[in-house]
Chains A and B, each alone.
Chain A
């Protein structure tokens, strides 16, 4: 079974600064997908960024970027120029496509606090 580990239960960053959230995962597969989801107090899960394992280039979405280290099974999220609206729970997730469908395996989450 695939496991996803987020070792930082809480992180804090000042507005306009940069913060990195860590995620490691365990899998024996070579083709899979990794995601970072954001869950604000409203509880709405919002996809922040995704990475296909077969792509060597790290994904970026505006102020969000990842550092994908396939051999190390590491998938960290960097948030640049942090904004107050970035405050939320962040979940790292793993998924693999197969004929029996797919499911997201989530980490326990990192609570990000953004201070003015």
Chain B
């Protein structure tokens, strides 16, 4: 089974621009979560989508948004980029079904490294 894929892997943008990151979950997984990783703040939860609905949201400004499509692929968008948005953005997918006790296990993609200049 293919793992979680994220595109692009690297991205360079300038302040004020907007960016869209994409995540394709493991086949059959309907939950997709996004995390931001920075040296200062560590790993922080952005939001989670399930069946095209945002089900959970972290403490981030409204410039950060996301969506999920009917095939469970997800995108996150950051508008009006700031220098502090430079980070590794990780996507994780999860199955909703308890299979051998593996519910709630999140599988991570390789991340998208965003640099804001």
Contact = CB atoms under 8 A, between A and B. Distances in A.
B48 A102 contact: yes
A44 interface: yes
Contacts of A47: 105-107
A33 B104 contact: yes
B31 A101 contact: yes
Contacts of B35: 104, 106
B83 interface: no
A45 B107 CA distance: 8
Interface in B42-66: 42-45, 48, 50, 55-56, 58
Interface string A90-116: 010001010011111111110000000
B22 interface: no
Interface residues of B, number: 25
B111 interface: yes
Interface string B81-103: 00000001010100000000101
Nearest to B101: A52
A104 B106 contact: yes
Contact of A103 (B58, B108, B113): B58
Contact of A45 (B31, B58, B101, B108): B108
B48 to A, nearest CB: 5
Nearest to B9: A43
B64 to A, nearest CB: 14
Contact of B33 (A37, A103, A109): A103
Contacts of A50: 105
